[in-house]
Amino acid sequence: MEYVIEKWGGRPHYAGAVRYLGDDEFGSWLWGPAGRSIYRAGAPLFITSQDMLSVVRPGAWWTPAWWWGHPQVEVYVNINTPVARQVDRMVTVDLDLDVIKFTHGGVEVVDQDEFELHQRLYNYPTDVIKATRAATTDVARRVVRNEPPFDGVRARVWADYATREA
């Protein structure tokens, strides 16, 4: 399955192959093994260094990712439009802001300057701006409180499953 992250207006951002693992109460779990290629506009951009696990929740304006073995990041939550599922691909629009929980325990909202710039440059609609800000505030609060699925408990279960099934 292909997972595509665009920028506003259909601008290419990232795309890569993932393996659909299954669904639970948190959403659809996706696995991207280390060594896979990430593309932009059909051209190879880089090769991943870590295994990646992500959960896509229907209607959510966020997508958390765990990069197993990353030395600094515990969970990286991309703020994005709700993911559109198609037969063999999932597509979302990156809305610039990210919530990162670091391995040392700190939590930070990043790329606020990019969000401010892109609001003007790409003419984000007012409802998208409001939804992005609300999602960021909610996710940051939930990450700080170590709430599921951001706590990584279920992510570890799915990662174990993915590596056993590889």
The mean pLDDT value of the chain amounts to 96
Give the confidence band of 55 by pLDDT, cuts at 50, 70, 90: very high
Answer whether residue 147 is part of any domain. yes
How confident is the model over 123-144, as a mean pLDDT? 98
Query: For position 78, what pLDDT does the model report?
Result: 98
Residue 123 in any domain: the answer is yes
Is it the case that residue 87 has pLDDT exceeding 90? no
Residue among 149, 151, 129 at smallest CA distance from 30: 149
Using the predicted structure, report yes or no on whether residue 8 has a pLDDT greater than 80: yes
What value does the mean pLDDT take over residues 7-17? Answer: 96
- Asked if residue 112 lies in contact with residue 95, where contact means CB atoms within 8 angstroms, the answer is no
Which residues lie across from 19 on neighbouring strands?
31
Residue 95 within any structural domain of the chain: yes
Q: What CA–CA distance (Å, rounded) separates 24 from 50?
A: 24
User: Around 161, how many Cα atoms within 13 Å sit in the side-chain half-sphere?
Assistant: 14
- Range 7-19 average pLDDT: 96
Task: Please report, for the domain that includes residue 41, its CATH number.
Answer: 2.40.380.10
- Examine the pLDDT at 166 and tell me if it is beyond 90: no
Per-residue pLDDT averaged across 103-116, rounded?
97
How many whole angstroms separate alpha carbon 135 and alpha carbon 119?
16
pTM as predicted:
0.96
- Total domain count, the chain: 1
Domain presence at residue 83: yes
Residue 57 lies in a domain: yes
Least reliable range by pLDDT among 3-7, 10-14, 162-166: 162-166
Distance CA(155)–CA(27), nearest Å, equals 11
Tokens of 94: 């990156």
Among the listed residues 52, 71, 78, 55, the one whose alpha carbon sits nearest the alpha carbon of residue 148: 55
- Domain of 101, in residue numbers: 2-161
**pLDDT-derived band at 24, boundaries 50, 70, 90:** very high
Residue 166 located in a structural domain: no
Beta bridge partners of 75: 101
Instruction: Please report the pLDDT score of residue 165 as a whole number.
Output: 81
Distance CA 121, CA 61 (A): 21
